[in-house]
Amino acid sequence: MSTNQPLVINGREINCPMCGHDRFWTRKTLMNSRGASFFNFDWANKAADNFICDECGYVLWFLKR
Contact residues for Zn ion, defined by CB under 5 A: 16, 18-19, 21, 53, 55-56, 58
Q: Which is nearer to Zn ion, 18 or 63 (CB)?
A: 18
List, edge to edge, every strand of the sheet that includes 47-53: 24-30, 47-53, 59-63
What is the smallest separation between the CB atom of 17 and Zn ion, expressed in angstroms? 8
How many whole angstroms separate alpha carbon 40 and alpha carbon 5? Answer: 32
How many whole angstroms separate alpha carbon 26 and alpha carbon 9? Answer: 14
What is the smallest separation between the CB atom of 18 and Zn ion, expressed in angstroms? 4
Please say whether the beta carbons of 44 and 50 come within 8 A.
Answer: no
Q: Which is nearer to Zn ion, 7 or 16 (CB)?
A: 16
What is the smallest separation between the CB atom of 6 and Zn ion, expressed in angstroms? 13
